[in-house]
Structure 1
Amino acid sequence: MANVVWHKQLRILLDLTRDDLDHPELPDLWDTVYKTDRFYGRLGVPVSERDLQCGGVCRDMGVEAPMHLRMRGGRRETVHERREDKERHSVPMSDEHKAYQERILRAAHEGGFGGDSEVRTRVGRTWIQTDTLVEGADGRRIGWEVQLSTIDESGLRGVRARAGKAAKNGITPAWHTDRAAYAQRNDTHWTRSDRLPAELIARNGDLRIVSGFRILDFWHCDTSAVYPCPYGIRRCGKAHATAKPREVFFDDMVRQTAAGSIVPIQFRAGSKVHRYWVTSADRDRLDDLNSDDTRLPPERDTAPASGASRNRPTCQPAVALLAPPPQPSPPALPALPVQPLAPAVETTPAAAEQYAYRSEQVADGATGLPAELIALQRAADDAHHRLQLLHDHHERELQRRVWRETAEAAQAAVTHYARTKRLNRHEVEARVRRIVRNPTG
């Protein structure tokens, strides 16, 4: 049985939990629909040839499930024609699915964002059912859908329609899975983690997203380029972007999508369009490239998609991912802690450790923030400014490494300070940057 029915002829959803079926503009709608269905029954019309279908779980999955109406004990009921359609409603939520929902909400709350699970959003005469809805910054709403089971041999259906409906109504769809077959689909923006038991998903260790997030490498198509020309010719002389896989921590993904620092894009590679998650800085540079591909888009101030973490991993990293941690190089400015790029290796970065041991920090009298946060952000900005002044390729690579290290150190410091003081990390970061870049503002 189901409470929501789709009427094929009227093309409306009927909510049997409401006296007017949620259509007050159509008086006596129940009597009309019920009497029509019973009339078809007396004539022997098959249920599959009548006007009613399941408007709930089955419709969301793209399955046409015929139904008929009945009255039992004075209560309105709908009945599926096929047993397999009925069983689709009674499949219990797995422990792994519940663990993901709890983890998404916990990660959002730690970042200063709200949210709830199993949220039903009214859209005109229909609804959007969201596994977990995160309320982000600036009115941003991220609708997380967790898909861990295989529906049938043809896989999940109706994803594009559900994602499109959510996007049209202000909800950014974020679908997560542990099935490689789903992660390779291109009907929405998928992310994937390794298949883990519920107790590992729920705990506070680091959970990796191994598919779905990309960093964009921008390059000039000349004889020194390491990538082949996407147009299939030798060298076209234009600027291009290449999407490279990068792992990111699941908790960081939840928080940064809510903050707007990780965003979905549609990336064209040849004749095919892919759907990836990238940093907002990469998205902006890609927009610049698409507007004018005769030159490389300018470097933008950006933070890494994920800072290195001091947490233990949820599982043993794959052997292929293990590598000796890079040795910290001497920073261009004095007293700057350095950490390796994350999350290439799940180790405790030097920068995070050094900052974590400082329980007492000297606060800047004018801003109220620790003076070290201001100094680290200023150092990162200075390193980025020096990078823009260089033209030699080798010198730019060295300076880019310095800039990334200083930026990661600043990010680690902001993250630790926000968590310690139970503040919204996005707001702390924005305030620090505003103080450094607009001292008189």
Structure 2
Amino acid sequence: MANGVYHTGYGIKINLDREDLANPGYDGLLEEITQPIGQRPRDLLQCLTDYEGGQCQCALDGKTPWMFVRRQRSAGRVSWVAAHLPLTHVATPQESDKHKAMKERIARTASRSGLDVQTEARSPDGRVITDVLVTGAGARVGWEAQYSPITPGTVRKRSARAREHSIAPLWVTADATSALIDRAPWTRVDDVPWQRIISPLALIIRGGVRHLQIWKCTPSSERACPETGQACRRWHSGWFLPALCIPQERATPLDELIVTSADGEHLPVRSRNRHDPHRISYLWALARDVKRWREITGDTGTSPETGPADDEPITYTEQELDSSCRYGEEGPHTSSPRPQRETTSATGLHTFDHAPDDTLLQPTRPIALHLSPRERLTVARELRCPPWEIGPCMLCATPIHRYGSRSPKACPACRTTTHHT
């Protein structure tokens, strides 16, 4: 990251490693250069290399030499850094079609389940516009269908604004590398054409929904000790993907989460990594599992958000201004060292000495298939089989041709996922 920028309005060079920014005569300069991009000209701050007539690699790549200033945490301290502005992404026709199809599916599913639905819901002050606002007995859930790139900062700000209006944000994506993952409550489905999104066939959630696992760490345990790798004879708990649970849990269909998140059966969880307090995972889990987890860990779910807070002190190193262009070394636009992709490893691992109550060890829910007669006929036509041969996938409960001659017990997506896992 660069430690300096050129201010095109004042015609001055700014050193971000100096407490006075190397310009003591300009009151309010820091507040001006750190305000949101939408509230100031995009060309206010310029790459020093480009200003001095050098080769700014960003400009050479056909982008712009304009920059922004943000906080960055590194080696336990927070400092100001400058980075090149990303180009504004315009959704492709395919992304736009998928976005519209996902919004329609969420609204249709919620409406059929008797929930209150608003599309493009706007808050009274106009600061929050939600793709689909679903209101049930348990929560007001703001669904955001995200099929185009988005910055982590945008996800955090929009989610924070939603919470200010008592809306639980829930982002849905089809990209396992999306920057929204673990920046707010999220979920991921398969990347399929818009026609598949809007069809009555199930969309299985592949990430963002997890189940609590509790086990005694003994030599006969099916899991290795997360602490030492050898049996420690203590108890462990953690959040696992359905396919990695022992025994396997069924995956959650998207349509089910649309209803259960509003009814309060699924709850959002923010799990902090105890080895790295700045690393947080977001997930959705069954309310029963969340209750178990809080009884075991004592976590109330009120821990602060990750990333450098606005009131964290800035460290000024007083280094000399470096005018070299750092484009290409900047990496993704994030203030946290954690990876910007979902992982299959367990999150929220916790170790404790005493055995939990027996009720905390009971299984969560059975595999079941809930289809109306009309939906069963529609699925049968899609799969080209008799309606009475439709049954649930044993892993995710999505409707499949289950009971025909030589029919598999799991859907193709689950068989592929389990094989790769």
Q: TM-score, normalization: structure 2?
A: 0.51
Q: Secondary structure at the match of 1:163?
A: helix
Q: CA, structure 1 residues 179+112, in 2 after alignment: closer, same or farther (shift >3 Å)?
A: same
Q: Measure, in 1, the Cα distance between the counterparts of 2:294 and 2:235.
A: 12
1:224 Cα offset (Å): 2.9
What's 1:254 paired with?
Answer: 258
Q: Secondary structure at the match of 1:195?
A: coil
What's 1:4 paired with?
Answer: none
- Give yes or no for contact 2:392–2:399 (8 Å, CA) kept in 1: no
Q: Measure, in 2, the Cα distance between the counterparts of 1:91 and 1:171.
A: 29
Match of residue 289, structure 2, among 271, 282, 298: 282
Percent identity of the aligned residues?
Answer: 25
Q: Measure, in 2, the Cα distance between the counterparts of 1:314 and 1:215.
A: 33
Aligned pairs for 1:7-406 within 5 A: 59=38, 66=42, 94-122=96-124, 127-138=127-138, 140-151=139-150, 155=151, 157-182=153-178, 185-232=181-228, 234-246=230-242, 247-268=251-272, 271=275, 272-291=279-298, 294-299=354-359, 304=365, 307-310=368-371, 312=379, 341-343=394-396, 346-347=399-400
Deviates more, 1:183-192 or 1:96-105: 183-192
Q: Secondary structure at the match of 1:166?
A: helix
User: Deviations 1:200-246 (Å, cap 9, x if unpaired)?
Assistant: 11121111111111111111223332223333363444322132213
Q: CA, structure 1 residues 297+265, in 2 after alignment: closer, same or farther (shift >3 Å)?
A: farther
Residue type of the alignment partner of 2:96: S
Residue type of the alignment partner of 1:149: S
Runs of at least 5 residues in structure 1 that lack an aligned partner in the other structure: 1-47, 69-81, 317-337, 351-441
1:106 Cα offset (Å): 0.9
Q: CA, structure 1 residues 344+66, in 2 after alignment: closer, same or farther (shift >3 Å)?
A: same
User: Number of aligned pairs?
Assistant: 257
- Give yes or no for contact 1:207–1:251 (8 Å, CA) kept in 2: yes
Q: Measure, in 2, the Cα distance between the counterparts of 1:305 and 1:116.
A: 32
Q: Secondary structure at the match of 2:122?
A: strand
Q: CA, structure 1 residues 315+207, in 2 after alignment: closer, same or farther (shift >3 Å)?
A: farther
- Give yes or no for contact 1:107–1:254 (8 Å, CA) kept in 2: yes
1:251 Cα offset (Å): 0.6
User: Deviations 1:133-172 (Å, cap 9, x if unpaired)?
Assistant: 101114x100101110125xxx554212221232243111
Deviates more, 1:291-300 or 1:108-117: 291-300
Q: CA, structure 1 residues 149+54, in 2 after alignment: closer, same or farther (shift >3 Å)?
A: farther
Runs of at least 5 residues in structure 2 that lack an aligned partner in the other structure: 1-28, 45-65, 67-84, 243-250, 299-351, 384-390, 404-421
**Bigger fraction of residues in helix:** 1
What's 2:57 paired with?
Answer: none
- Give yes or no for contact 1:144–1:176 (8 Å, CA) kept in 2: yes
Q: Measure, in 2, the Cα distance between the counterparts of 1:259 and 1:302.
A: 21
Residue type of the alignment partner of 2:359: E
- Give yes or no for contact 2:171–2:186 (8 Å, CA) kept in 1: yes
Q: Secondary structure at the match of 2:282?
A: strand
Q: CA, structure 1 residues 196+106, in 2 after alignment: closer, same or farther (shift >3 Å)?
A: same
1:257 Cα offset (Å): 0.6
Q: Secondary structure at the match of 1:186?
A: coil
Q: CA, structure 1 residues 297+106, in 2 after alignment: closer, same or farther (shift >3 Å)?
A: farther
Rg (Cα) greater in structure = 1
- Give yes or no for contact 1:183–1:192 (8 Å, CA) kept in 2: no
Residue type of the alignment partner of 2:270: Q
Aligned pairs for 1:407-426 within 5 A: none
1:88 Cα offset (Å): 6.2
Calculate the aligned-residue CA RMSD, in Å.
4.1
Q: Measure, in 2, the Cα distance between the counterparts of 1:297 and 1:245.
A: 23
- Give yes or no for contact 1:65–1:85 (8 Å, CA) kept in 2: no
Which of the pair has the greater relative contact order for Cα pairs under 8 Å at 6+ separation? Answer: 2
1:65 Cα offset (Å): 5.0
1:344 Cα offset (Å): 5.6
Q: CA, structure 1 residues 67+233, in 2 after alignment: closer, same or farther (shift >3 Å)?
A: closer
- Give yes or no for contact 2:201–2:399 (8 Å, CA) kept in 1: no
Q: CA, structure 1 residues 159+306, in 2 after alignment: closer, same or farther (shift >3 Å)?
A: farther
- Give yes or no for contact 1:209–1:249 (8 Å, CA) kept in 2: yes
1:343 Cα offset (Å): 1.2
Q: Measure, in 2, the Cα distance between the counterparts of 1:207 and 1:235.
A: 39
Q: Measure, in 1, the Cα distance between the counterparts of 2:284 and 2:114.
A: 22
Residue type of the alignment partner of 1:289: I
Residue type of the alignment partner of 1:111: S
Q: Secondary structure at the match of 1:283?
A: helix
- Give yes or no for contact 2:175–2:191 (8 Å, CA) kept in 1: yes
Q: Measure, in 2, the Cα distance between the counterparts of 1:290 and 1:314.
A: 48
- Give yes or no for contact 1:288–1:297 (8 Å, CA) kept in 2: no
